């Protein structure tokens, strides 16, 4: 039975690596999969899902204007496809997660979403909130804070290591760095 999966974590936990590994497992068994990632600039199409350990694969992109049910349906009609993988799933809209749920139910294809749970202010991303509500199966990808506890939060900090508490949920191309922390150390860092 096809299911909607949500693999969530904080930053730098190795989500893309796990996505690529899972897609590779399908490929080894002679099954093709459809890879999608968020479109951050104006170029639709040829994006790449890359991981920090150096592996990567070509991927299609999604933007907020896409109907993902139809996009997946078209891909399935064009060529055999055993599974859909979505990276940066936190950037899906509420409606798009429903489109994915419909694709799982009506097209009977498994969809594996990988994304961040909360932003640097400790708030759920819209895509992640809806995935937490609708997914058939969820799995936390764990990483650790500098203290050794599980990291569940992320801080956005400037080049001097000062935590930023304001700003847009998505910031592309700045000099900010993201650090994953446990809640206690995140609270200390952002003064909460």
Residues in contact with Zn ion by the rule CB under 5 A:
145, 147, 149, 182, 185
Looking at the Cβ atoms of 37 and 157, the one nearer to Zn ion is 157
Q: Which are the catalytic amino acids?
A: 88
- Residue 138 beta carbon to Zn ion: minimum distance, rounded to whole angstroms: 23
**Cβ at position 145, least distance to Zn ion in Å:** 3
CB closer to Zn ion, 108 vs 146 = 146
Three-class HEC string of the chain: CCCEEEEEECCCCCHHHHHHHHHHHHHHCCCCEEEEEECCCCCCCCEEEECCCCCEEEEEEECCCCCHHHHHHHHHHHCCCCEEEECCHHHCCHHHHHHHHHHHHHHCCCEEEEEECECCCCCECHHHHHHHHHCCEEEECCCECCCCCECCEEEEECCCCCEECCCCCCCCCCCCEEEEECHHHHHHHHCC
Least distance from C-beta 188 to Zn ion, angstroms? 9
Nearer Cβ to Zn ion, position 59 or 190? 190
């Amino acid at each position: 039975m096809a299911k909607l999966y949500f693999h969530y974590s904080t930053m730098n936990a190795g989500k893309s690596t796990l996505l690529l590994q899972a897609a590779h497992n399908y490929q080894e068994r002679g099954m093709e999969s459809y890879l999608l990632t968020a479109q951050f600039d104006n170029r639709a199409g040829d994006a790449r899902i890359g991981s920090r350990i150096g592996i990567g694969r070509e991927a299609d992109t999604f933007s907020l204007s896409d109907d993902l049910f139809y996009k997946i349906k078209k891909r399935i009609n064009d060529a055999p496809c055993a599974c859909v993988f979505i990276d940066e799933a936190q950037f899906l809209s509420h409606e798009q997660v429903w489109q994915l749920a419909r694709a799982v139910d009506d097209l009977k294809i498994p969809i594996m979403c990988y994304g961040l749970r909360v932003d640097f202010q400790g708030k759920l991303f819209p895509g992640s909130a809806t995935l937490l509500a609708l997914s058939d199966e969820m799995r936390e990808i764990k990483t650790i804070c500098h203290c050794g506890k599980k990291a569940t939060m992320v801080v956005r900090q400037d080049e001097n290591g000062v935590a930023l508490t304001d700003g847009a949920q998505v910031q592309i191309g700045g000099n900010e760095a993201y650090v994953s922390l446990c809640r206690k150390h995140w609270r200390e860092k952002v003064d909460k």
